[in-house]
Each structure stands twice: as structure tokens, then as C-alpha cells.
Chain A
Amino acid sequence: MDLAGLLAFNVLTGIATLVLITLGLGVIYGMMRIINLAHGEFMMLGAYTAVMASGAGVNIWIAMLVLPPLVVGVIGLVLERTVIRFLYGRMMDTMLATWGVSLGLIGLVTTLYGNVVRGVSTPVGSFDIGRYGASLYSLVIMATALGALAAMFGLLRFTKFGLILRATMQNPRMAAALGVQPNRIYMATFALGAALAGLAGGILAPISGVSPAMGAAYVARAFITVLGGGPAIITGTGLASGLFGTINELVSFKTTPVIGDVALLAAAILLIRLLPQGITGRYLRRSL
């Protein structure tokens, strides 16, 4: 069945995309309990970085995979120092402030670059699944998503920074008692989350139009996938992306992308109602 192959391929692409757009939000939410509503705009900044850099003649792979996380990570760091750090422990206020940051970034980019849709071309070609054509670039997305998950796992599991992160996550006061400054950790975490969002923006730039308001299309999906996944960042993001991505792609194929999106969101609401702690809050609690 060529069609089944194509469908499976699309489902995997959808899952990988969801993993990429969710991971950065999940890191910030999981570690700091901050719902970062500027996440979509961090992606937008990543996409702009990719477009600008490739326009300036930088190698496309560097422009997509290296520069966006660096640039957006630094921007995240600056925002954490200037806005977010004053609001720790005030969940609603951080939500509102990051929302303000989101609107402000849309406005700023519109003012600087105009409300124009830009794009970079896909750096790789296509291949055939039986008699159907499919984009090789989807493989790049899958590889990046897997790479990002693996890197996060490695970071949390095997490095000192990861150990400190996990400790801070469990109990900030305990970590402080061990001589770790929670502030430093939060700063680094926020920058890391921003960098991951930037990476997602950079990698998705070639297949979606890059415009100041592009982030809005992603944030609700990313948001609800994080909550559906629950506290274990990597396992949770992976499982929730798998579930929602499959639902989205299959329903989209059978009906329309709108109904596909609605199905994703409705499934997520049901999941949260049944498992308020998310998938990994109920099961697999010991995972990362």
C-alpha cells in the first residue's frame, strides 16, 4: 500500500513537528512552571534568523540549525534578565508578561521588517513512496526532532547541569541549600527553552511562510501538548506529540486540516480532563 506508506510518513512528520514546537515550551514549563506565551514568537525569531542568514549568504544548514538557537537563546536570556526574573512564583503574571512580550515581538518585527511573508527554499529534494511523492525535508525534520530529544535526554541524564536542573525541579530550596543558585538555573533554563524554540523556527522556516504573526499558529498546539505530556519533559513531549500528531494527521487526511486541528485540541482537552497531571503524571512518573 503506497498510500499507507505515505500516510505513515506524514504521521511521523507531524509527530516530529509537534515534538520540535513543543520541546522548548516543555523545558520552560517543566523546570520553572512558567507558561511562556511568547514561545510562538521565539519560533518566529528563529525563522527570521534563518531567512536573514541564508539571505546574507550563510550556508543554509548553518542558517537553519545553528544560528537560530544561538540568536534566540541570547534573546531569551535578555528577556529573562529584564522581565521574567521579577515575576518568579507569580504564574498568572508571568503568563501575562510573556503574552505582552509576544505581542511586543510581533510588533517589533513588523516595524523592523514589515509584514511580509518571507521564505527560504527547501535545501533537499523529494523522493517517491511507491507512486507518491514525498519531501526529503520531512526526514530532516524527523532527524532534528530525534536529535533534539536525544540531546535533551543526554543533558538531563548525564551532565552535572542536568543533575542540578533535576534537583532544582524537585525542590528549589534544597538545591539552594546545596549551594546552587536557583536564579542561575532558571536563567539557563529559560535560555535553553528559547533556543529550542529558535531551532524549531529555523527548521520549519523552509516549509511555512515566515511572517511576524506566524507564531500564533503554533502556540495553542504546543501549549496543550506540553500539558498533555505531563511533568516528564522528554517522555511526556514524545508521547503526547505521538498521540496528538497521529490524531491530527489522520483526521486531516480524512476530512480537512481544520477538523484535524479541532480533533487535536478536543483530544487534548479530554486527555487533560481524564489525566489532569498529563500522561507522565499518571504513568511513567519516574521517567525524564
Chain B
Amino acid sequence: MGLLLLCLGIGWWLWKGVAAMEDPEFIIGPAAYYIINTAEETGAANIVAAILFDYRGIDTLGEASVIYTTVCGVAMLFSKSKYKRSSAGLSFIARRGVSFLVPFLLLYGSTIILMGHMTPGGGFQGGAVFATVTILLCIVFGSSFEMSRIKPKTKETIESLGGLFFVFLGGVGLLAGAGFLANTAAGFPRGQVGNFLSAGAIPLLNIAVGMKVGAGLSTIFYSMVRVLELEFGEQMSEVEGNDKN
């Protein structure tokens, strides 16, 4: 009861803070500038993508780094666990159905990544779709299958390369003297708005982020699932050296 009152008290103050403000009828601040000038300055049709990868590119690099941190962390936390068996997977029908679906899913993911500068979508969303593919494979075919096809080593390589590619693209701007992550100012071609080849470095950055997120999310899932199988499944034989103390 006290806790409820506590939360309501906080909520009351928050509400008063909102209620005191009046909303402007039109857009002010940098957003107004973005809406007017994005097409001309970056060549991207998707203004949100332009903000994410051009105006505020460093935020996106940070965001990618957050995922990277988590991936590293989860891998680190479970690095000392040993595991022996994987789940058996699902039935034949499910396997066939999924293997039929997978190419389309991959295509869908790539579309989202590559068209990120024109339509809603982008590296994060597409990367998430790629991660879904691996998760699906893991569920349907059992965890060892996915591991045998795409090795953890490959995933980590892809992820690191994605990060480095992002930094490299940013570094081009730095070398051109236009600031880190500069886009058209650094000489990337602007192209025609709405074309596939447009918006300078934004598609490339999308690809970099897509690599990173796809590999990263699937690594997180995979690290967790193989431990969970151990933890909550029937087999509890494995002993962790650190748990003794």
C-alpha cells in the first residue's frame, strides 16, 4: 500500500510537470530543419534514417556498441559453462516448412537493411530479422545444428567486422576533414533522392549495423539458450568451478 502511494506520488509530480507545458502547434527545433533539408543535404528519403545515420550518427555507433557490450558480456558470463547435449528439435513438417521459409526471410532481412535509407527499416530491424532466422533454425533443428552451420567464431568475426566497418566509414569523414561520420560532406555521393543508390554512406552504415546486430542478437540468444537447456532441462550434471565458493 505504501509502495502504491509512493508510485502515485511520483506519478502526480510527473503529471504536474507535463501539465504545466503547452504544446506548440507546429514542429520547432532541429526537427523542422531536418524535415526541410534532409533530402537536399543527405539524399535519404527516410528522414529518421538520415537522423540516425547522419545527423546523429554517433548515437547509432553508441547504440551498436551497447549491443556489442551485451554480446560480449553474455558470452563472458557463460563462457565457463560446459554443455553436452542439445534439444532434439521439432518434427519433420516443421523442419521442411522452415527450410522453405528461410531464404525468404533472408531476402526480407536484406531488403530491410538495403532499403533502409528509403523506406522504414534499416540496419537494426534487418539485423533483428537475420537473428530471427538463426533463432528459428535453432528451435526447429536443435541447437547443435545451428551451431554447426554458423560457428560462433564466424558470428563474432562478422560482428567485429561490422563495428570496424562502421568506424572505418566514419573515419573517412574524419580524414576528409569534415568530421567523424560525415556523409556527403566527406565526398560520399548523394545520388537521387528515392533511388537505391543514394544517400551517400547511409546504406553502407546500414549494412555495418545489420551485420553487427544480426550476429550480436543471435549470439546472445545462442549463449543463453544453451545454458538454459542445461539449467532447466533434465541434465544438471555439469559443475561450474566457480560455484564452489
Partners in one complex: no
Q: List residues of A whose CB falls within 8 A of some B CB.
A: none
